[in-house]
Amino acid sequence: MIAMLPDNVKKVFNENLWYIATCGDEPNVVPVGFKRVCDDGKLVLGALLLETTLENIKSNGKVAVACANPLTGEAYQIKGTAELVNEGEAYEHYCKLTKDTFKGAMELKCVVLITPERLICASSNEHNKEEIEI
């Protein structure tokens, strides 16, 4: 069963920049903007420039994604497993978005589909580091 994220968490992730962290020979973290939370609770992002990130995912599939609302300070970290996908609805969506946005200057490599396994509060308040049930 897919983890269902609370609505307030989905809102923060859907409205703000994400930072995806992976690890291979060394830690790697990059911002991502082509992203969304799917209805089924998975996270999806369109991979355009994520060379090291994609290599690390191929190697071990482990990811962490952090996101924060800079105006409210509400912040979360999701830890989970990622897979690289080159077909299906999400792939077609990001192919079209890439073509419409970059007019051929960039191409979609794949989509990264993340299954959340843990949700942790990253807000700077009394709930920092608390795990939220999903």
Three-state DSSP state, 32: strand
Give residues with Cβ within 8 angstroms of 9, minimum separation 6.
76, 119, 132
> In the chain, what are the domains?
7-124 (2.30.110.10)
What's the confidence (pLDDT) of residue 57? 97
Q: Which of 11, 21, 122, 17 is nearest to 65 (CA)?
A: 21
**pLDDT tens digits along 37-77:** 998 889 999 999 999 999 999 999 999 999 999 999 999 99
Q: What's the full length of the chain, in residues?
A: 134
pTM: 0.92
Residue with tokens 């990622």: 82
Question: Does residue 124 surpass a pLDDT of 70?
Answer: yes
CA distance 59 to 13: 26
The mean of the pLDDT values for the chain is: 94
Q: Report the chain's C-alpha Rg in angstroms.
A: 15
CA distance 78 to 119: 5
